[in-house]
A = this chain, B = another copy of it.
Amino acid sequence: MRNSYRLMIPGPIEVAPEVLAHMSDPLTAHYGDKWVEICNGTVSNLQQIIGTTGEVIIVVGSGHTANDISINSLFNPGDQVLTLNNGLFGQRLADICEAHGLDQVILTKPWGKPFSPSDIHEAVTRHPDVKALLVVHGETSTGIANPVQALTAAAKEHGLLVMADTIASLGGHPYKMDDWHIDLTVCASQKALGAPPGLALIAVNETAWSFMADRRKPRGFMTDLQNLRHFAEVQAAFHPHPGTMPVNAFVALQKSTELILKEGLEATWARHDRVARVVRTGVRAMGLQLMADEEAACANLTVIMADDQFLPQAYFDFMIEEYGMQVGLGLGEYLTRSVRIGHMGLNANLEAVVPCLVGFEQFLRLQGHDVPRGASLAGLE
């Protein structure tokens, strides 16, 4: 029996061996010249990938932590914000806003359907006190990427602050924070950025800093971006965080982001796009449906509907047993109704997705479906 399986879930993902190896480097001090160099190098790589000249605050935690810190720092209880909910992580963003006592206008759409600029215009017209838009870019539960560029443009017509959760998209699906005028970006280490879980990051532009400058106090210590910025500035040359940071996790993230930049950001996006199209085309050629509208599909993962044609758990088990690969089951009410295949980072390669596709058609034939051999490869030359 295998002890581990190739992780084809939509994060954490397979991590490059040279990245993973750094996690077991001899421990070094969380202060001093060498540490500052690691911090600054990691931040610089992230700025390039996020597409911002703004500050990037790295925190120990998951993407949830970074969303929680951002919402805590930006808003006061009672502030009215517009939250877009078309998946589990849109819902979670709303849960976090709720946990901070915000007065939310929550727009909902069926899973798999993206929001459009007109949704923003209509909502703000009905709710003119809305101060900010909160949107999930890559939605891991549905496989879509909300069109954050267009949504932000609409929000900016009404003077809204825009916060984007790019946890499942950044590094694979195109994203340009500054060019698109997004004010705050949240991400985490373990998806298309290609590092192990444990770090999250928050990129903040000047508009967002100004926005939070006069927010209420107190706001907590580790959850207050202004406090974290204070330490980053005052202790910049020696120890730019209030607490002890996991040095090796930074080194791994620095390395994984360096690999992205070495390939080139545009080339990385193109690779993700190509592999995602191979997956989507193959899935359709097997007669299956995708949860995401094609024009809104996220390049990092694909969610496949079971539609009474197969049992997701059975495909999951088949892939574990026959291929040693772990795919994801659906989330929420789609647990027994969909399968999620992650194809980001190292998994955005044919050697990773071809076995998932071929395994799928093999599985379907074993279940009695009439799927021609090679149908799943329709997206390949």
**Chain A residues near B (Cβ < 8 Å):** 3-5, 7, 9, 11-15, 20-30, 59-65, 67-68, 72, 77, 92, 95-96, 98-101, 188, 190, 196-198, 217-224, 227, 242-249, 326
- Given the interface pairs A220-B100, A227-B99, the reply to whether A197 lies near B61 with Cβ below 8 Å is no
**Cβ contacts A to B, 22 pairs, < 8 Å:** A3-B26, A4-B27, A11-B244, A12-B244, A27-B197, A61-B222, A61-B243, A62-B243, A62-B244, A62-B245, A64-B243, A65-B243, A68-B222, A77-B218, A96-B220, A96-B221, A99-B218, A101-B217, A101-B218, A190-B244, A197-B245, A198-B246
Whole-angstrom distance between the Cβ of A276 and the nearest chain B Cβ? 21
CA distance A140 to B29 in the complex (A): 15
Closest to A222 in B: B68
Q: Which residues of B contact A188 (CB under 8 A)?
A: 244
Question: Judging by beta carbons under 8 Å apart, are B24 and A4 in contact?
Answer: no
The residue that A196 contacts in the complex, of B29, B77, B101, B248, with Cβ under 8 A, is: B248
Question: What's the Cα separation between A197 and B96 when bound, in Å?
Answer: 26
Give the residue name and chain of the B residue nearest to A62 (CB): B243
Asked whether, in the complex, the Cβ of B9 is within 8 Å of the Cβ of A221, the reply is no
Which residues from B are CB-within-8-Å of A13?
Answer: 27
Inter-chain CA distance A59–B247, complex, in Å, is 17
B12 touches A20 (CB 8 A): no
Cβ–Cβ < 8 Å partners of A224 in chain B:
99
CA distance A244 to B64 in the complex (A): 8
Q: Are A197 and B247 in contact (CB under 8 A)?
A: yes
Q: Give bound CA distance, A5 to B77, whole Å.
A: 48
